[in-house]
Amino acid sequence: MVQATASAVEILVGVQVTDEALYARYRTEMLPLLHAQGGAFVVDVRVGEVLRAPADARFNRLFTIRFPSAQQMDTFFSHPDYLAVRERWFVPSVSEVVRLGEYSI
Protein backbone atom coordinates (compact mmCIF):
# COMPACT_ATOMS: atom_id res chain seq x y z
CA MET A 1 0.00 0.00 0.00
CA VAL A 2 1.40 3.39 -1.03
CA GLN A 3 0.86 6.27 1.37
CA ALA A 4 0.13 9.68 -0.04
CA THR A 5 2.66 12.30 0.95
CA ALA A 6 1.63 15.81 1.79
CA SER A 7 2.40 18.32 -0.93
CA ALA A 8 4.29 21.47 -0.22
CA VAL A 9 2.09 24.54 -0.41
CA GLU A 10 3.00 28.07 -1.43
CA ILE A 11 1.01 31.29 -1.08
CA LEU A 12 1.40 34.50 -3.05
CA VAL A 13 0.65 37.63 -1.01
CA GLY A 14 0.69 41.35 -1.67
CA VAL A 15 0.82 43.84 1.22
CA GLN A 16 0.70 47.62 1.40
CA VAL A 17 3.47 48.49 3.86
CA THR A 18 2.92 51.87 5.49
CA ASP A 19 5.74 51.76 8.06
CA GLU A 20 8.96 50.11 6.87
CA ALA A 21 10.63 50.10 10.30
CA LEU A 22 7.76 48.32 12.04
CA TYR A 23 7.37 45.91 9.13
CA ALA A 24 11.09 45.06 9.30
CA ARG A 25 10.67 44.33 13.02
CA TYR A 26 7.71 42.05 12.20
CA ARG A 27 9.78 40.15 9.67
CA THR A 28 12.69 39.76 12.11
CA GLU A 29 10.50 38.40 14.89
CA MET A 30 8.29 36.15 12.77
CA LEU A 31 11.12 34.50 10.83
CA PRO A 32 12.20 32.02 13.54
CA LEU A 33 8.55 31.01 13.99
CA LEU A 34 8.18 30.55 10.23
CA HIS A 35 11.31 28.40 10.08
CA ALA A 36 10.10 26.30 13.03
CA GLN A 37 7.18 25.17 10.84
CA GLY A 38 9.45 24.50 7.88
CA GLY A 39 8.31 27.68 6.12
CA ALA A 40 10.45 30.00 4.04
CA PHE A 41 10.15 33.04 1.83
CA VAL A 42 10.80 32.06 -1.78
CA VAL A 43 10.25 35.40 -3.50
CA ASP A 44 10.24 38.82 -1.83
CA VAL A 45 9.84 41.95 -3.96
CA ARG A 46 9.37 45.68 -3.38
CA VAL A 47 6.85 46.72 -6.01
CA GLY A 48 7.50 49.87 -8.03
CA GLU A 49 4.34 49.95 -10.10
CA VAL A 50 1.24 47.73 -10.18
CA LEU A 51 -0.26 47.62 -13.65
CA ARG A 52 -3.15 45.31 -12.82
CA ALA A 53 -4.52 43.90 -9.57
CA PRO A 54 -7.79 42.32 -8.48
CA ALA A 55 -10.53 44.54 -7.01
CA ASP A 56 -8.46 47.72 -6.76
CA ALA A 57 -6.00 46.03 -4.43
CA ARG A 58 -2.96 48.08 -3.47
CA PHE A 59 0.38 46.56 -2.54
CA ASN A 60 3.99 47.65 -2.50
CA ARG A 61 5.45 44.31 -1.37
CA LEU A 62 4.87 40.97 -3.06
CA PHE A 63 6.12 37.66 -1.72
CA THR A 64 5.63 33.93 -1.68
CA ILE A 65 5.88 31.75 1.41
CA ARG A 66 6.36 27.99 1.07
CA PHE A 67 5.52 25.36 3.69
CA PRO A 68 6.15 21.61 3.56
CA SER A 69 2.40 21.01 4.01
CA ALA A 70 -0.91 22.80 4.38
CA GLN A 71 -1.06 21.59 7.97
CA GLN A 72 2.25 23.29 8.80
CA MET A 73 1.02 26.48 7.14
CA ASP A 74 -2.19 26.41 9.20
CA THR A 75 -0.20 25.70 12.38
CA PHE A 76 2.07 28.67 11.71
CA PHE A 77 -0.70 31.18 11.00
CA SER A 78 -2.75 30.10 14.03
CA HIS A 79 0.12 29.77 16.52
CA PRO A 80 -0.28 32.12 19.54
CA ASP A 81 3.36 33.30 19.29
CA TYR A 82 2.90 34.26 15.64
CA LEU A 83 -0.42 35.97 16.35
CA ALA A 84 1.23 38.07 19.08
CA VAL A 85 4.05 39.16 16.75
CA ARG A 86 1.54 39.89 14.01
CA GLU A 87 -0.62 42.02 16.29
CA ARG A 88 2.34 43.96 17.69
CA TRP A 89 4.25 44.71 14.47
CA PHE A 90 2.32 43.72 11.33
CA VAL A 91 -1.06 45.28 12.12
CA PRO A 92 0.30 48.82 12.65
CA SER A 93 2.68 48.60 9.68
CA VAL A 94 0.44 47.23 6.91
CA SER A 95 -2.76 48.81 5.63
CA GLU A 96 -3.79 46.16 3.13
CA VAL A 97 -3.27 42.43 2.57
CA VAL A 98 -4.17 40.67 -0.67
CA ARG A 99 -3.83 36.90 -0.89
CA LEU A 100 -3.30 36.47 -4.61
CA GLY A 101 -2.92 32.72 -4.81
CA GLU A 102 -2.21 29.39 -3.17
CA TYR A 103 -0.89 26.33 -4.90
CA SER A 104 0.60 22.92 -4.20
CA ILE A 105 4.10 22.11 -5.30
Domain ranges, ordered by start, for the chain: 9-104
What is Dmax (Cα atoms) for the chain? 53
The per-residue pLDDT for range 10-20, each reduced to its tens digit, is: 999 999 999 99
Q: What is the pLDDT of residue 97?
A: 95
**pLDDT value of residue 56:** 79
- The per-residue pLDDT for range 53-95, each reduced to its tens digit, is 887 788 999 999 999 999 999 999 999 999 999 999 999 999 9
Collapse the DSSP code of 95 into the 3-class scheme (helix H, G, I; strand E, B; otherwise coil) and give the result.
strand
At 3, phi and psi to the nearest 5?
-90, 140
Tell me which residue of 93, 39, 32, 36 sits closest to 63, measured CA to CA. Answer: 39
* Reported confidence tier of residue 4, pLDDT bands at 50, 70, 90: low
Say if domain 9-104 classifies as CATH 3.40.47.10: no
Write the CB contacts of 72 (distance below 8 Å, at least 6 apart in sequence): 37, 38, 39
